[in-house]
Structure 1
Amino acid sequence: MRCSYIRLLVNDYVASFRFYRDVMKLPVLWGSEITRYAEFDVYSPTRLALNEREVMAEALGTIEKDAALPGQDRVSVIFEVDDVDHSAAELVAAGAPQVSPPKDWSAWGIRAAHFRDPDGYLLEINRPLVPET
């Protein structure tokens, strides 16, 4: 078994589509602002997909259930970058809401920064820490 997609079920599809295309600058592999479903290239075998939450709820027959996310994050999408500080500065300049600035998470072996997309999903950009020799 391999992970082929990370699919985010979003409330504001257009804002999320624009965020991943224009702010995160991910190439669109399929879909547009009006398709209610899109796939993005995240430069790995795994793809990031957006699906309008209502479309999936209709498909699964759960449209009457509460669609709100709980208070704690339930998913985080991780992007590895060459330079966390530079990438974080670019995201901030492009309007991405920053949750935590770049810092070393030595227990995790990474330098990372965290952001939110328009639907509140947690995004992490990171780079492995280089061990001191």
Structure 2
Amino acid sequence: MRCSYIRLLVNDYEACFRFYSDVLKFPVLRGDEHSRYAEFDVDSTTRLALNQREVMAEALETDTADPELPHQDRMAVVFEVDDVDATAARLVSDGARQVMAPRDWTAWGTRAAHFRDPDGYLLEISSPLL
């Protein structure tokens, strides 16, 4: 596994986009102020991404106000893997708590599966769709 993204799941997407693009001056690789998803070049092989919080909650069919996870989905750490299905099966076998089984996310251009660590942080394993 290779950490490919740190994805911040934000409430005020437009303000956060302007902060990272205009204040921190990170070059925009994908998205814009209104796209609800953007990627920034942070001079690393790992990228910083912003995602409107509700978009991820809708995709994963979760409730952002879940009382058992008060900080649910404020960020996601994304790992690129060669084989999402095999890696997901191994993680489940090793005791990882799966949120969403592997599936193609054509709008994102990836095949991905989602998990939570013991503190409830969202982890994604993914590989590009061919």
TM-score (norm 1): 0.49
- Find the partner of 1:69 among 68, 71, 90: 71
Residue of structure 2 in register with 1:14 after alignment: 14
Q: Name the SS for the 1:51 alignment partner.
A: strand
Task: Report the Cα distance in structure 2 between the residues aligned to 1:41 and 1:15, rounded to whole angstroms.
Answer: 18
Residue of structure 2 in register with 1:44 after alignment: 44
The unaligned stretches of length 5 or more in structure 2 are: 76-130
Task: Report the Cα distance in structure 2 between the residues aligned to 1:37 and 1:68, rounded to whole angstroms.
Answer: 23
Matched, 1:28 2:28: yes
CA RMSD, Structure 1 to Structure 2 (Å): 2.2
Could you list the per-position Cα deviations for residues 77-119 of structure 1 after superposition, in whole angstroms to 9, with x for gaps in the alignment?
xxxxxxxxxxxxxxxxxxxxxxxxxxxxxxxxxxxxxxxxxxx
The unaligned stretches of length 5 or more in structure 1 are: 76-133
What is the CA distance between 1:39 and its match in structure 2? 0.1
Paired letter, 2:36 = R
Could you list the per-position Cα deviations for residues 5-62 of structure 1 after superposition, in whole angstroms to 9, with x for gaps in the alignment?
0000000000000000011110000000110000000001000000000000000001
Task: Report the Cα distance in structure 2 between the residues aligned to 1:68 and 1:11, rounded to whole angstroms.
Answer: 14
Residue of structure 1 in register with 2:124 after alignment: none
Equivalent pairs, count: 72
Sequence identity percentage: 71
Q: Larger Cα Rg: Structure 1 or Structure 2? A: 1
Task: Report the Cα distance in structure 1 between the residues aligned to 2:57 and 2:35, rounded to whole angstroms.
Answer: 16
Misfit runs of 4+, over 2 Å: 63-70
Q: Name the SS for the 1:49 alignment partner.
A: strand
Paired letter, 1:69 = H
Q: Name the SS for the 2:3 alignment partner.
A: coil
Task: Report the Cα distance in structure 2 between the residues aligned to 1:26 and 1:45, rounded to whole angstroms.
Answer: 14
Task: Report the Cα distance in structure 1 between the residues aligned to 2:54 and 2:71, rounded to whole angstroms.
Answer: 14
Q: Name the SS for the 1:14 alignment partner.
A: helix
